[in-house]
């Protein structure tokens, strides 16, 4: 079955808590069971430098965010058979190292960051990946609005 998971954090690429561990383990487990798993997460600062095997795709994003259009790119990595991780690259929104600031406080633009992320998930699900099941994790992956 074609499955799509989406999360604002995925271990070992980004982590603020247990969600990252759970999503990373779930994706790998489902892939090992023979499902075709796609996992979407933001491309935070520092990830690209740590993963030389991370590659840009031909997928381009041009999504409405309020009254403006915001562009982004999609990078991918296939760490195990049947699992492809898609990283959403939008430097103005995901130039931070994680979801939270080092002091644990949310960034003031988190609403815009994760509305764009949610729209990217919907765009990829509808127009590219076309999964049988979409499973979004936490509010950052389900914040869709214009």
Q: Where are the domains of the chain?
A: 2-141
Task: Tell me the whole-structure pTM to 2 decimals.
Answer: 0.92
Q: Is the pLDDT of residue 95 over 80?
A: yes
Q: Is the pLDDT of residue 146 over 50?
A: no
Q: Which is more confident, 137 or 58?
A: 58
Share of the chain above pLDDT 70, in %: 91
CATH entry 3.40.50.2000 includes domain 2-141 = yes
Q: Is the pLDDT of residue 97 over 70?
A: no
Instruction: Give residue 110's pLDDT.
Output: 77
| CA gap 132, 103 in Å, rounded | 39
Q: Which is more confident, 146 or 79?
A: 79
Rounded mean pLDDT of 4-30? 93
């Amino acid at each position: 079955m074609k499955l799509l998971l989406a999360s604002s954090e995925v271990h070992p690429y980004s982590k603020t808590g247990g969600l990252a561990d759970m999503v990373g383990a779930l994706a790998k487990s489902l892939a090992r069971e023979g499902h075709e798993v796609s996992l979407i997460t933001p491309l935070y600062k520092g990830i690209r430098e740590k993963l030389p095997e991370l590659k840009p795709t031909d997928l381009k994003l041009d999504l409405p965010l309020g009254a403006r259009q915001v562009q982004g790119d999609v990078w991918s990595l296939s760490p195990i058979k049947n699992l492809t991780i898609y990283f959403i690259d939008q430097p103005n929104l995901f130039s931070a190292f994680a979801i939270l600031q080092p002091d644990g406080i949310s960034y003031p633009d988190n609403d815009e960051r994760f509305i764009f992320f949610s729209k990217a998930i919907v765009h990829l699900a509808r127009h590219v990946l076309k999964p049988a099941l979409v499973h979004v994790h936490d509010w950052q992956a389900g914040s869709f609005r214009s």
